[in-house]
Amino acid sequence: MTRTALPAASLLQLIWLASPALPVGGFSYSEGLEVAVERAGVTTEQAASDWIADQLHLSQARGDMAVVAQAVTAWRQAAHDRVQALNDWVLHTRETHEMRLQTEQMGRSLAEWLRNQHAGDAERLRDVARLAALPPTYPVAFALAAAATDACAHDVLLAYTFGWAENMVQAALKAVPLGQSAGQRILARLAAAIPAAAHTALALPDTERQAFSPMLGILSAQHETQYTRLFRS
């Protein structure tokens, strides 16, 4: 079956949401990569590429990406109890102070951005107020932002995950460190893998959504006392 082309306005909105220029502070987090460089041998292009790809499939696709897809539908259906449950799940899966700080800070920043973007839209502002009162996590806040477009959940996931991948690659460039060409090779690998990760996320029922990444949690806790740090996580 031929898919209907995404309207230009919706496509541009997704590109905007995926942009590292979105003022939510994603650039300040490495999600454990910085301490992995020091303690887990992530010191080469190949190691960094494998680390981020594993995080995509083992953590993002089985957890936050599934939440984004489900929360988009919940926001569109005004299923606010469902939104609350998904937001609570994200909070409960943050094993360390830094992980929780990241999702809450980015969620609040995106809620504030949405408040400014929709200053004249009373209905949208009501949803933003509901988001801000949760307190918001980033996946659920992103879902609200994307719910205003005509994009299907699959396209929303492509935008969300590519934005995540760009931030992770930029962290690798600084922390490993790597050159720009190496970063582009890693990003190409991730771009090729994202559609399959999105498919996995879309197929997950609530009973199979999970965030079991014990080594990532251990490294995140170690990062809190790492001697020198560029990133907040």
In this predicted model, what pLDDT tens digit does every residue of 22-38 receive, in sequence order?
Answer: 999 999 999 999 999 99
How far apart are alpha carbons 128 and 113 in whole angstroms?
10
Contact 231, 43 (CB under 8 A): no
Phi, psi (rounded to 5 degrees) for 2: -80, 130
Percent of the chain at pLDDT > 70 equals 99
What percent of the chain has pLDDT above 90? 83
Mean pLDDT of the chain: 94
| Per-residue pLDDT tens over the stretch 163-200 | 999 999 999 999 999 999 999 999 999 999 999 999 99
Torsion sign (Cα): 146, 94, 20, 110: positive
- Residues 190-233: tens digit of each pLDDT: 999 999 999 999 999 999 999 888 889 898 988 988 877 888 88
> Is residue 142's pLDDT more than 90?
yes
pTM, two decimals, is: 0.95
Handedness of CA 45, 51, 57, 60 (dihedral sign): negative
Show the tokens assigned to 183. 């970063």
Each domain of the chain, given as residue ranges in start order, spans 27-223
Q: How confident is the model at residue 3 (pLDDT cuts 50, 70, 90)?
A: low
pLDDT at 30: 94
Pick the CATH number of 27-223 from 1.10.4190.10, 1.10.8.60, 3.40.190.10, 3.30.70.1520: 1.10.4190.10
Residue holding tokens 């962290």? 171
- Burial of 34-55, coded b for 16+ CB within 10 Å and e otherwise, reads bbbbbebebeebebbbebbbeb
**What's residue 229's pLDDT?**
82
Cα angle 173, 179, 184; round to 5: 80
Instruction: Tell me the one-letter amino acid at 141.
Output: A
Minimum mean pLDDT range among 54-63, 75-84, 177-186, 207-216: 207-216
Q: Are 75 and 123 in contact (CB under 8 A)?
A: no
Cα–chain-centroid distance for residue 51?
A: 16
pLDDT at 20 over 90: no
Rounded Cα distance between 108 and 133, Å, is 10
